[in-house]
Structure 1
Amino acid sequence: MTATPAYQFFVSSGIPQPADERMRSHAIKAALRMRKQGFGDAEGGLAGRSSASSNLTLRSHAQLKGRFRAVPSPTPKAAPAQFLNSSKKGLVGVDVQSRWQDSTNITQSLDGYQQLSTTRHRESIQNSIEKAKLDPFDSLPVENNWRVNLLLKHFLTGFSLNLTTVDPQRSWFSYALTDPLIMHTTLALSGAERLSSSMVVDHNLREEVVRQKLEAISIIKSHLDGQTLVQSIIAGVATLANVACFEGAFSEADLHMKAVRQVIDAGGGVEMIQDNFLISRAVIWTDLQTASALGRAPYFPLLHAHSQTQLPLDLLGNVPRIKLDAVEQVVGDADTVEVFAFLRQAIWARDTNKSPHVIRILMNTADWKISECLLGGVSKNPRTSLEVALLLGAQVFLYAVLRKVPPAGKLLQTLLARLELHLKSFAPNLESSVEIHAWLWLLFVGFVVESSNPQVRSNKFALQLEVFCRSTAILDRGFMVQTLKDFLWAEAHHGTASGGDDTILVAVSPSNRIQGLEAGIVQAEVC
């Protein structure tokens, strides 16, 4: 009866590797044992097997020595010769040697492929880092290219709309990283905002914006065809409306917002998005933006309003009482005065580094209040022309200073043109000092916003401000600055925060030309 062969197990990691000393020793012993059994059976008896195997071992010692040694790099030409020599020395030698050579070749092939793949991957990452690629590991949920990298960089570093760049949480971008639809619309929004503030039309950038919009619309269509409604569709369509506003396509933006309203109404009303802060914020902001551009009422109620949110105690109690004497003397409407109060609170919250969430609440509340007052939905008595002008001026101030809408964009130019058209419809009462002060503030707001637009060559508000100052004999810079502060901030606390009187430098030169040494509304701070 043949003895049961002895087996020895080796733990492997699954990766082909050369045999170690133990494996080679076991293979040699197994080969000798098999040869011993074969020759012993032929001669019959244990003695014969023992004697024959001993003689065979001595004769084949030189042949077996080094046969199972790992060859570092066998050449292709050496393999056939080794195969022929092994075939002459027995079947066992052929089997073990051929298997070892196959294993070695496979190991070298796998190692070579892995090294090549790793090298290429490292070179790709290195090239991406050297080229300032923001996503060298391709972690975006959308296809990446150099134009996407440009839009991504602008959104993270230069997109200042609604305090986006100063928000440390970056909650919207984190949300976009998890959803391809939101990422497509976010990239399109970044490109549209950049194009609206650029002097030169970048056709490559515009093409990329169109491509991102098409990708987003394709995803929305696939969801609707499958009759699957997810909240990201609401946020995506609202962001497309935001893109349309920056492109000046306000009717297209309104069409998107009507679709958002239908989807929300079909889902049970605004309660379906009220608890999702990111989606509700996107919907409300775009609704207010579109309503301001078209001069209509917002479609949605104001979620997370001033009265519905717990604001910081120092903002509500410890803020110095805001003096609105100048505004209260001009207007008799409490809602108009409240608009200016919200704007002043938003400025104070921004200058004292309050949370962007708090500032957005104040901005949205003021924005909503302005639209409501302009449409006459609050006051029982019709508003005067000066009250309407102050509301329009406050709206321009809100979008230019706080929301930081690009001054060359269609949205801010539409609001500024609306203010200019309304000022042409009535004349100031030069016998009323408070009305003179109101007109001075309105013309100055229009002047600094229009001057900050690099695409405007002739400043109409500058000419009107020059004529107005000459006709009213307002030539003292200190008096002008104090008048402007009385309309938007009267406390000395904010005078220090805004940089004092030197932040607004307006003078009448001998040639009777108004010179704005601080042309931008952001630097002037009109407060």
Structure 2
Amino acid sequence: MPVYEFVTFGDNNSSNATKAARSHAIRTALQRRNAPAQPSGDNDASASRPRPPQPASRGRFRVTAPSAAASRTRTLDPDAEETDIIKLAPTSKTQAKPQKTKARGKGKGKARSSEIPASNAETKGRPGGLEAMAMSPMSRLKDGRLDPFETLAIPSNSASDILLQFFLRGFNLNMSALDTQGPWLPYAMQNPVLLRATVALAAGFWSSSLPTLDVKLRHEGYLQKGETLRLIRKRLTPGPGTDSDHSTAIGATLQSNGSGDDMFVLAAVATLANGEAFTGELASAHVHLRGLYDLVQARGGVDSILHDYILCRCISWVDVEVATGLGRVPLFPLFHTIDQVILPSKVITDAAVPPALVHLEPDDADPLEERQDMAAARVIFMLLRQAICAHASSIPVTVASIRVIMTTADVRMLEFLFPDSDTSSHGKAQSPSRLAGNSPVTALVLAAHVFLYVVLRHVPTTSQLLRILCGRLRNFLQQGPRVLPAAYVVDAWTGNAAFLVWIAFAGVVGSGWSRQNADNAEWFRSLFYSAVLRAGDEGVISSAYDDDALEALLETFLWTDTECGTALESLRRASPDP
């Protein structure tokens, strides 16, 4: 008769156990784990025996229903190990283990899946039961989705979700990337009409920045735009005497003034105008903007919306954007003026530190009109320099203040370039007297307009708006739409080489210096090289091949190290002269 020896383990005191005892204990534990469960009943004496607690070191996850044969034949194949990891299923203390029956037939240690019963509580409502769920990979809940629980005000799909994610991460129009609070999307999420218009705007901006954008995302933008128009048409009731040639917004009043969503309807119309202007549909953008103006007047005038800062900011941007594309003054007055902005003294000092704007000093010998024009241009350039310095300052300056500075400069440029424009005639300038002349100051302001939109407002160079601005500057330099070589323009600007160097450089940046065969890009490059040579001959810079002197000249006008520095380096590498 064998001699039995009682061994106590589990309390970190196994030093008294012999090697044979430890081997016997481990072997017994493995046999009990792999043994099939015995059916239990009320009269089963073993059911009343307390089960020893499971060791806490076993972990929270176990391999579901492993067979003894599978345990013995497990290999070290990496693919097999990965499969076993996928088959892990969580267990809990209250979860009943599925019972297993003994295998029938000749095979030992094998059981058919149809002969393994499962608990009704575990398999009810789950196709395939618990085993099928454990055998299949457990994917994360809507991995990568912005709205996994579909809480947005509009139905979500993969395309709209991607567009909203782009709006959050890649939409930096009008310095939105600097706004850490990101107030627009939370504002738009409150209303389905405005949220749909925002998705359409994101699609338009992305397609302008990336002409090869996926057609599914473009199609989603068109769908959201159409649904926005339908909802706005439903929300508005046409008033008496509505012009049939205008959009549904013109001559309409809100069905219930003062209702909770009328502000969102105004914001949605402004967003539609923004998208139309971005894609070059300026006539449609003007229709939306004119209808928005009528809606605001029907609601009680501009004073009735001043309390909504986000709406006012949106309207101001869209108004100057459409006015810039059409060549006229804005429809709306400035909601926030420059006298409401308080800049740190360091920003003001850095913007005016010599030799800033040294070439824009008026000459007493010049006629009075030219001196007035030069003074107006100097104010515009100083505002833009303050916006640049505020952006780069170590002293925090609010994004709202920078926006007000840029919008003020934008409006002053439009008033300078199109003083006689009539906003009632579809936004077209009636007598653009300044563009018909040949004043160097006008060319400077046109170039500053390009600089504002491409460098500060981050409008893509592939957009129709930048093409319009660069084309307007080129036509003014050529004195018409005729194509003239850059050498003719340089000869006509004798004595103003410093102006022409910076004007040509702004044209290069705005027309897309990094893209081959871009619109107007080759012409502005040729003009820049010719102007630099003329500046060296006239003594404006020490030498046409002195890179430091050239950069110092450009910095006296408008300059940023990121965009301008990269563009200048590209021009240096592509220079035809050594």
Q: Shorter-chain TM-score: what band?
A: 0.5 to 0.7
Contact 1:199-1:455 within 8 A present in 2 as well: no
1:374 equivalent in structure 2:
417
Deviation at 1:155, TM superposition (A): 0.6
Contact 2:341-2:404 within 8 A present in 1 as well: no
1:420 equivalent in structure 2:
474
Contact 2:438-2:476 within 8 A present in 1 as well: no
Distance 1:385 1:363, change over 3 A: same
- 2:242 matched to 1:210? no
2:528 equivalent in structure 1:
465
Please give the alpha-carbon distance, in whole angstroms, between the structure 2 residues aligned to 1:262 and 1:408. 32
**Partner of residue 392 from structure 1, selected from 425, 446, 449:** 446
**Partner of residue 480 from structure 1, selected from 546, 550, 562:** 550
Distance 1:396 1:257, change over 3 A: same
Distance 1:111 1:184, change over 3 A: same
Distance 1:326 1:247, change over 3 A: same
Please give the alpha-carbon distance, in whole angstroms, between the structure 2 residues aligned to 1:431 and 1:394. 18
Deviation at 1:206, TM superposition (A): 1.6
- 2:307 matched to 1:270? no
Query: Quick one: percent identity of the two aligned structures?
Result: 29
Please give the alpha-carbon distance, in whole angstroms, between the structure 1 residues aligned to 2:123 and 2:511. 66
Distance 1:299 1:431, change over 3 A: closer
TM-score normalized with structure 2 length: 0.62
Q: List per-residue Cα deviations over 1:338-393 (Å, max 9, x = no partner).
A: 10001000000111252211111111011011001101369xx9786211111110
SS state of the match for residue 304, structure 1? coil
Contact 1:451-1:459 within 8 A present in 2 as well: no
Written as runs of structure 1 = structure 2, the 5 A alignment for 1:416-455 is 416-425=470-479, 427=489, 433=495, 435-452=496-513, 454=515
TM-score normalized with structure 1 length: 0.67
Q: How many corresponding residue pairs?
A: 396
Distance 1:115 1:281, change over 3 A: farther
Please give the alpha-carbon distance, in whole angstroms, between the structure 1 residues aligned to 2:505 and 2:151. 48
Letter in 1 for 2:294: Q
2:195 equivalent in structure 1:
183
Please give the alpha-carbon distance, in whole angstroms, between the structure 2 residues aligned to 1:443 and 1:290. 25
Deviation at 1:450, TM superposition (A): 2.1
Please give the alpha-carbon distance, in whole angstroms, between the structure 1 residues aligned to 2:572 and 2:413. 33
Please give the alpha-carbon distance, in whole angstroms, between the structure 1 residues aligned to 2:533 and 2:557. 21
Deviation at 1:153, TM superposition (A): 1.3
Q: List per-residue Cα deviations over 1:109-156 (Å, max 9, x = no partner).
A: 89955999xx99xx9992412xx1111121211111110111011111
Distance 1:471 1:217, change over 3 A: same
Deviation at 1:298, TM superposition (A): 0.5
Deviation at 1:312, TM superposition (A): 3.3
1:356 equivalent in structure 2:
399
Gaps of 5+ in 2: 1-95, 98-119, 238-253, 364-369, 422-432, 481-488, 538-543
Contact 2:269-2:292 within 8 A present in 1 as well: yes
1:285 equivalent in structure 2:
317
Which structure dedicates a bigger proportion of its chain to helix?
A: 1
- 2:342 matched to 1:314? no
Contact 2:505-2:528 within 8 A present in 1 as well: yes
Please give the alpha-carbon distance, in whole angstroms, between the structure 1 residues aligned to 2:324 and 2:229. 25
Q: List per-residue Cα deviations over 1:60-116 (Å, max 9, x = no partner).
A: xxxxxxxxxxxx99xxxxxxxxxxxxxxxxxxxxxxxxxxxxxxxxxx889955999
SS state of the match for residue 371, structure 1? helix
Distance 1:114 1:508, change over 3 A: closer
Contact 2:490-2:531 within 8 A present in 1 as well: no
1:126 equivalent in structure 2:
140
2:384 equivalent in structure 1:
343
Contact 1:390-1:438 within 8 A present in 2 as well: yes
Please give the alpha-carbon distance, in whole angstroms, between the structure 2 residues aligned to 1:453 and 1:275. 43
- 2:505 matched to 1:505? no
SS state of the match for residue 275, structure 1? coil
Deviation at 1:429, TM superposition (A): 6.7
Contact 2:381-2:448 within 8 A present in 1 as well: yes
Deviation at 1:320, TM superposition (A): 5.7
Q: Which moved more, 1:442-451 or 1:280-289?
A: 442-451
Letter in 2 for 1:374: L
Please give the alpha-carbon distance, in whole angstroms, between the structure 2 residues aligned to 1:479 and 1:246. 37
- 2:364 matched to 1:324? no
Please give the alpha-carbon distance, in whole angstroms, between the structure 2 residues aligned to 1:279 and 1:298. 16
Letter in 2 for 1:461: F
- 2:148 matched to 1:136? yes
Please give the alpha-carbon distance, in whole angstroms, between the structure 2 residues aligned to 1:386 and 1:431. 8
Contact 2:413-2:445 within 8 A present in 1 as well: yes
Q: List per-residue Cα deviations over 1:132-185 (Å, max 9, x = no partner).
A: 111112121111111011101111111111122231111111101111111111
1:33 equivalent in structure 2:
none
**Partner of residue 185 from structure 2, selected from 173, 177, 191:** 173
2:39 equivalent in structure 1:
none
Query: Which structure has the greater CA radius of gyration?
Result: 1
Distance 1:280 1:397, change over 3 A: same
Deviation at 1:469, TM superposition (A): 3.0
**Partner of residue 256 from structure 2, selected from 228, 243, 260:** 228
Q: Which moved more, 1:388-397 or 1:319-328?
A: 319-328
**Partner of residue 240 from structure 1, selected from 265, 272, 290:** 272
Distance 1:236 1:459, change over 3 A: same
Please give the alpha-carbon distance, in whole angstroms, between the structure 2 residues aligned to 1:444 and 1:507. 9
Q: Which moved more, 1:287-296 or 1:211-220?
A: 211-220
SS state of the match for residue 459, structure 1? helix
Please give the alpha-carbon distance, in whole angstroms, between the structure 2 residues aligned to 1:289 and 1:501. 26
1:62 equivalent in structure 2:
none
Q: Which moved more, 1:238-247 or 1:446-455?
A: 446-455
SS state of the match for residue 142, structure 2? helix
Please give the alpha-carbon distance, in whole angstroms, between the structure 2 residues aligned to 1:429 and 1:329. 23
Please give the alpha-carbon distance, in whole angstroms, between the structure 2 residues aligned to 1:391 and 1:135. 45
2:289 equivalent in structure 1:
257
Distance 1:465 1:313, change over 3 A: closer
Deviation at 1:202, TM superposition (A): 2.8
Gaps of 5+ in 1: 1-71, 74-107, 516-527
Q: List per-residue Cα deviations over 1:438-495 (Å, max 9, x = no partner).
A: 0010011112332346363561111222233334443322221111111226xxxx8x
Letter in 2 for 1:393: A
1:20 equivalent in structure 2:
none
Please give the alpha-carbon distance, in whole angstroms, between the structure 1 residues aligned to 2:289 and 2:493. 46
Please give the alpha-carbon distance, in whole angstroms, between the structure 2 residues aligned to 1:125 and 1:257. 47
Distance 1:431 1:410, change over 3 A: closer
2:157 equivalent in structure 1:
145
SS state of the match for residue 241, structure 1? helix
